[in-house]
Every structure is written in structure tokens, then in C-alpha cells.
Amino acid sequence: MDVHNNNKFPLEIRDVEPKLAAELMKYFTGEHTGFVRVGPKGYFLPDKYKQEALNIYTMDVRHSDIFVASYPRSGTTWTQELVWMVANDLDYEKSDAIPLTERYPFLEFSIFVHPVMKARFHEENSHSPEKLRLLELVSQPGTEQLAANTSQRFIKTHLPMSVLPPTLLEKGRMVYVARDPRDVAVSFYHLNRLIRTQGYIGDFKMYWNFFINDLHHWTPYFEHLKEAWQKRHHPRMLFLFYEELTKDLPAAVRRVAAFLDKQYSGEEIAKLCEHLSIDSFKNNKSVNYDVMKELGILIPGEQGFIRKGKAGGWRDYFDEEMTQQADRWIADNLKDSDFRFPHFSI
């Protein structure tokens, strides 16, 4: 079905079949209505996306806007802090004072806050006017937050290029980061258990099968990457690999600096790399989504938002059958593409 009568949103939005949606909602307990597929590639999103699709697609992009985009758990938070620091002349004091969630509105987060869950969060935080204010802020549509922002805007999104404003690279800039999908799946599995807006209660093997069968948010994974990969030579797009950041962070910093027309000394880059190190990151309240913890949106006792941050950790989770399945899935998805991860070939 096309949800918009004026047809300004160019892609078809189709409801996921009710029986399948009901089965998925048994495992993803943060969703209470259903899911949709968007466009010819069938991007999988919560039902609430219908309310924001047109607003996001037609949002006014400013020439100073910087988008940091990725499939979730691809090094997004790491890249956000790296980009913000480079763009803001290494302002450590401001970075420490203002949480990353406030420096980077999450464009589509509101579509994941189902009214049932929002009411629950509201009741749990009803004793604190400040927490209720924060709840309204994090659940407000990103387009509304951004429209009210009068300074340079830094925007986080996991949406694919085809549903973002078509003027994005004409006016703004984007840094896109990609990561080995096996590591992505492990990391996203943990986040889905941690964050109540997803509320995943199944095991990893089941989760992996949802992921590779495009039955999870923001999938299909490889289509998401390929859309950005096709734009990688655009002068207003920088395409990074998570594995690049882990292998040679100073080189990645220099690439970002060049992209943003900034120059820093070797000493300044070394200090920034220390700030961005995984140990430093784990203890950095500004990037660890403490606001979400305070509101109870993150489950106490689960692993933190910033986990191990290493490449290749998927091997601890995959049995032989899953490893072979992953090899076939990756090969099938890359056979007609020149996209390759820097650390393996097909």
C-alpha cells in the first residue's frame, strides 16, 4: 500500500503479513503493532515508520549538515564521536559536557518507541519531571528536533540512502561506516536484548536467522551497504570500514579530517586516538547512552552499550553450520557487486 495520498514519498510501504508479524513480536517484545517493508528492496521497519516516512524524505537538508550513517552496530557511535571531534576543532570539554545523544539527534529513533512502551516508560519515570522531559526529547521525531536546531547539525541514522532526502549529498555530507555482518549480528543481538524498544528474548541462533532472512530492522543488510557504496566516490560522501578504524585509527582520523577540510598535527591526532580508544570509550559517560539507562530504556544487568569493540569476535558465537551458512550468504550477496570488505575476499 502507498501510505501517502499525495505520492510525494516515492516508495511503496507494505505491511508485513499479520501472522508473520505476530510471530516476530513474540521475540521482539518492544513492538506491539507490526512491521512494514519499504520500497523494492523491502527494507524492514516498525509500523510507526509510516508516520515519519514522508517527513524524513522531505526534510530540509542544510549545507552544514553532517550525517553519520550505518547499519546498526557497525561502529556508529565510534564514528560519531570521531567526526564530531574533528569537525569541532577537538573540543574535548564540550564533548565531555554534552552527551552524544544530544549532539546527534537519532533521525528515526521515534519510530521504535511504540506508544505502549512510551506509556510504560512514562509511568516508570513519573516521579521525576526531569526524566519525563528527557523521555519526551528522546522520543520526539528526529525531524522535529533537527528543525529546531539553529547551530550546525550532526545527524545519526541507520536508514538506507533510498529513503533519506534525495538532496542529502547535494547539500549536506555523509560519513558511512560498514562492518563485517557477522560481527554486526553479534553486537546487534546484544543490543536487542539490552534495549527495551526492541526487547528481544530469543537466542542468538534464532536472531541470526531473522537477520539473514531480512526479518529484522533496517535489513536487508547488504542492500543497505550497497546503496552507500555506490555513492562512495561522491565528493560529499566518505565511506569507512569499521575494520579500518580498528587496524589503523590514526589513518582513519586523517581521512575524516581531509573530508571535513581540517588539519591536525601528529600530536593532536595521537591525543584524539587515545580519546577514541575502546577502554576510554567504555568509561566515557557522554557516549555510553547514560540517558537511556536513566530512563530505564536500557535493561539493568545486561552488557553496556559499548561492548568489546573488536573485529572477528563473531567466531565465539558461530558453530560450524552457522559459519558455512554465513559464507554462502555473504558470497550470494556479493556475487554481482564490486563491494568487498578489506579483510576478506569472495
Decide if 1 is inside a domain: no
Decide if 205 is inside a domain: yes
Residues 6+ apart with CB under 8 A from 125: 131, 132, 135, 295, 296
Give the residue with greater pLDDT, 280 vs 141: 141
Residues 6+ apart with CB under 8 A from 301: none
Rounded distance between C-alpha atoms, residue 37 and residue 5, angstroms: 18
Say if residue 310's pLDDT is above 70: no
- Residues 197-226 have a mean pLDDT of 97
Rounded distance between C-alpha atoms, residue 299 and residue 290, angstroms: 12
Active site annotation includes 114: no
Provide the domain count of the chain: 1
Residue 34 C-alpha cell reads as: 507490526
Confidence (pLDDT) at 285 = 66
Decide if 31 is inside a domain: yes
3-state secondary structure of 176: strand
Rounded distance between C-alpha atoms, residue 293 and residue 279, angstroms: 20
Decide if 186 is inside a domain: yes
Confidence (pLDDT) at 40 = 97
- Average pLDDT over all residues of the chain: 91
Say if residue 5's pLDDT is above 90: no
pLDDT digits (tens, 9 = 90+) for 162-190: 999 999 999 999 999 999 999 999 999 99
- Residues 113-136 have a mean pLDDT of 95
Say if residue 42's pLDDT is above 50: yes
286 pLDDT band, cuts 50/70/90, is low
283 pLDDT band, cuts 50/70/90, is low
Decide if 252 is inside a domain: yes
Confidence (pLDDT) at 2 = 40
311 pLDDT band, cuts 50/70/90, is low
- Which of 269-306 are b and which e, b meaning 16 or more Cβ less than 10 Å from the residue's Cβ? beebbebbeeeebeebebbbbbbbbebebbeeeeeebb
Say if residue 7's pLDDT is above 70: no
Q: Tell me if the pTM is above 0.85.
A: yes
pLDDT digits (tens, 9 = 90+) for 77-123: 999 999 999 999 999 999 999 988 889 999 999 999 999 999 999 99
Strand order in the sheet with 237-241: 154-157, 66-70, 173-178, 237-241
pLDDT digits (tens, 9 = 90+) for 18-38: 999 999 999 999 999 999 999
Q: Could you list the residue range(s) of the whole structural domain that residue 68 is in?
A: 13-334
Say if residue 47's pLDDT is above 50: yes
Confidence (pLDDT) at 3 = 43
Residues 6+ apart with CB under 8 A from 276: 78, 81, 82, 85, 249, 253
CATH number, domain at 273?
A: 3.40.50.300
Decide if 163 is inside a domain: yes
For the chain, state the CA radius of gyration.
19
Decide if 6 is inside a domain: no
Say if residue 4's pLDDT is above 50: no
Say if residue 209's pLDDT is above 90: yes
305 pLDDT band, cuts 50/70/90, is very low
Confidence (pLDDT) at 341 = 87
Selecting among 114, 158, 190, 224, the annotated active-site residue is 158
Rounded distance between C-alpha atoms, residue 310 and residue 315, angstroms: 11
Decide if 345 is inside a domain: no
303 pLDDT band, cuts 50/70/90, is low
User: Percentage of the chain with pLDDT > 90?
Assistant: 82
